[in-house]
Structure 1
Amino acid sequence: MRSAVSTPSRPRRWRTVPVAVVLLLASLLAAGGFGVSWALAANDSSVQLAATRDRVLRAGRQAVINFNSIDHRRVRQDMSRAIEGTTGPLREVLEGSREQRVERVTKNKSVTEAEILASALTELNERQGKARMIASYKITKIEDGGKPTTSRWRVRAELSRTDGQWKLSRMTPSAG
């Protein structure tokens, strides 16, 4: 019979040291990799372009809403907001027809609200400060507390950067 000879075993904590070192190295490598990825993404021009496109599209959507939404209870404020979101010939048209619009809206006690259904930028030239967008929206109109009517519109719009802000410079109905 053989006698059981016991061999001295290493304490348990010495077995966990190599595992801890491997985990530490893996964590450092992962953190370094994520850091490099983050730094590359932060300086990527396509990320900056996407952010600019989003900002221009938001401004265009809001300008279309403001252009088409007017409430007789705050008609002058709504007209000022619509004019503020425009530039160039479109602004001139709004400014030139301001008093007639105010009078008509007040007389009819109308409330017109626009809601964007879909929109997209079709062109963006950040260097020149020009952009084009398409949008479909609906307008809900109530006159003198009557029954609401709804109409749907599709437009092509041009935006221009003026004093660091993107504003509507042209808006025309779109066929189809």
Structure 2
Amino acid sequence: MTNDSVSDDVATDAPEPPVTAARRRRASRAAGPASPVRESSTAATVETPAPVRVKVSRPVAPPPRRQPHRALVTAVGLGVCALAVAVLGVLTVVFGLQQREAEAAVSRDRLFVDTATQTVVNMFSYDQNTIDESVNRFVNGTSGPLRDMLSQGDNVENLKAIFRDTNASSEAVISGAALEKVDETAKNATVLVSARVTVTDLDGVNKPSQPYRLRIVVHEDDNGHMTGYDLKYPDGGN
């Protein structure tokens, strides 16, 4: 072994000197209040934030409506209008017919009464100068049993002779008349007639008027012509 090798071994085995940490220097300041902090001469610039635009979403629109069937709606509307017009027309016709029937019934009843009163006037009214015309008018306005009675024998001529023998004239005035009943099967109507008959002599003197109450039966033929069919005195009196 050489001396160099020994020297290296000795040097290697020798302990290393301890490493001392560097001592930290303690900060110190002079006694007294701390000096005020100087503001920086450079002013800080504060930027105003730009306005933020908020985008408002539009409301959601409802879904598109379903288009109606215009042709079908129009056809139904026209049909309803046509039906309403037809119903109105039918009702108008029905009401018109009912009104005509009611008016015809009232007119028919009035004609029954007028025929009965005219029969009484023709029977009691005459004038010495027109006896033939007066009696013939009365006879021509009769039918049925009344006409049969007048047509028997010389009843018409006898009636004219009686009127001439009175040497007077007679006038009948109707006091009242009322329809009693109507027989639609026989087409006969019974009318109650009240009249007053005044006889005037050749000198123009009026005798006291006489009241008469009669039940006149009026007949209507197939042509609507009415005649005096029969006459009766109610309760057996005049």
Instruction: Please give the TM-score of this superposition, normalised by the length of structure 2.
Output: 0.53
Partner of 1:154: 213
Unaligned stretches of 5+ residues in structure 2: 1-87
Are positions 1:124 and 2:182 aligned together? Answer: yes
Counting only pairs closer than 5 Å after superposition, residues 74-93 of structure 1 correspond to structure 2 as: 74-93=130-149
Partner of 2:98: 43
- Bigger proportion of residues as helix: 1
Give the Cα–Cα distance (whole angstroms) in 2 for the partners of residues 154 and 81 of structure 1: 21
Counting only pairs closer than 5 Å after superposition, residues 12-161 of structure 1 correspond to structure 2 as: 40-44=95-99, 45-96=101-152, 97-149=155-207, 150-161=209-220
Q: Which moved more, 1:47-56 or 1:72-81?
A: 47-56
Give the AA of the match of 1:59: T
Higher relative contact order (Cα pairs below 8 Å, separated by 6+ residues): 1
Give the Cα–Cα distance (whole angstroms) in 1 for the partners of residues 93 and 202 of structure 2: 56
Larger radius of gyration: 2
**Residues 71 and 92 of structure 1: CA distance in aligned 2, closer, same or farther (over 3 Å):** farther
Unaligned stretches of 5+ residues in structure 1: 1-32
Q: CA RMSD in A?
A: 2.4
Partner of 2:232: 172
Q: Which moved more, 1:41-50 or 1:136-145?
A: 41-50
Alpha carbons 2:214, 2:231 under 8 Å: kept: yes
Instruction: Please give the TM-score of this superposition, normalised by the length of structure 1.
Output: 0.70
- Bigger proportion of residues as strand: 1
Alpha carbons 1:155, 1:173 under 8 Å: kept: yes
Give the AA of the match of 2:177: S
